[in-house]
Amino acid sequence: MSAAHAARDAEPVRSAVTRGPDTSASATGTWPRALSHEPMLRVSDVLAQVTQEFPALTSSKLRFLDSNGLVMPQRTSSGYRQYSPADVERVRFVLRQQRDHFRPLSVIAEYLDDLDAGRLHEPVTPHEVSRRDSVLTASQMAQAAGVESETIAALESAGVIAQSQPGRYERADVDLVVAAAAYLDAGGDARALKVLQRAADREAQAARDFAHAARARKDDARADAEVTQRVDAAVAVFSACVHRDLGR
C-alpha cells in the first residue's frame, strides 16, 4: 500500500465515497459510468454549470486539472477542449474534495483511480446538463448583441458574419457583432470593417499554427498560455499602430 493510500485510509470517513467495491454491473471504465461520456460541452458550458456551486472555478483551473490528469476532456481538431457530462461530474468531485476535505491532488487522483477501477463507489447526484444553443436566429442574435436586426443584415451583407445554417448564426459571433456594431456606430465603414476582419483572421490562423507546434513540444497548459500571450500581444500591436498614426 502506498503512503498516500495509507494516509488516506487513516482519515475519518468524511465524504460520500463508499469504502467498498462498486458492485454495479457497469463497474468498468472511467467513472462516473452512469453519465454520458459524449464530448458535447465547451469550457464556457462547464463554467456556466459549475460556477454557481464553485464560484472560483476558471478556465485556467480547468486547464490545470487537465494538465494534472484529473479531468481529461477530448479535443477538437483545432485543439479546443470538449467536455462530457461525466467530465463535468469529475470536475465537481475534485472541487468538492478540495473545498470540503482539503485533500491534495495526489490523494484525489488516487480516489479517482479507485473509482475508475470499481474499488470505491461514489453516488452521483443528478445534475441538469444544460448547453446553450450554439446557433441563433437573426432576431436572437440581435437581442444577444443588443443591436437592431438591420445591423445583423448589414454585417452579413458586408461579409463580416455569415449564416452557418439557413437562417442561423453561430453564437460565437455575438462578441464580433457587438464590436462591429460599435465600429459602425462610431462612423466606421463596413468595407473597412471587412479589411480589419481579414487581418484578424490571418492572425488567428497564425495563432492556431503556433498552438499546434507548441503542443507538439510542450504540455497543453504551457502551450495555451503562450498562445494567449501571442494573441494579446497582436491586439496590443494593432492598437499601438492605430494610436501612433493618430498621433496619440
Q: What is the pLDDT of residues 178-230, one digit of tens each?
A: 888 888 888 888 788 888 888 888 887 887 777 777 666 656 666 667 777 77
Burial tier of 169 (Cβ tally within 10 Å: 0-12, 13-18, 19+)? buried
Q: Which fold has domain 3-117?
A: Multidrug-efflux Transporter Regulator; Chain: A; Domain 2 (1.10.1660)
Assess whether pLDDT exceeds 50 at residue 25.
no
Same CATH topology for 3-117 and 133-188?
Answer: yes
Say what percent of the chain tops pLDDT 70.
79
Nearest to 28 by CA among 126, 88, 92, 115: 115
| Residue extents of the structural domains in the chain | 3-117, 133-188, 192-248
Burial of residue 93, with CB atoms counted within 10 A of its CB: 0-12 exposed, 13-18 middle, 19 or more buried: buried
The residue-averaged pLDDT of 128-150 equals 77
Lowest-confidence segment of 5-14, 37-46, 117-126 by average pLDDT: 5-14
Rounded to an integer, what distance in angstroms lies between the CA atom of residue 17 and that of residue 121? 6
**Is 50 exceeded by the pLDDT of residue 6?**
no
In one letter, which amino acid is 28? T
110-125 as b/e: b if 16+ CB within 10 A = bbbebbbebebbbebe
Does residue 216 or residue 239 have the better pLDDT? 239
Q: How far is CA 53 from the centre of its chain?
A: 17
Is-above-0.75 flag for pTM? no
Residue 23 has pLDDT above 70, yes or no: no
CATH architecture, domain 133-188: Orthogonal Bundle (1.10)
Contact call for residues 23 and 119 (beta carbons, < 8 A): no
Query: Is the omega angle on the peptide bond into residue 123 within 30 degrees of 0, that is, cis?
Result: no
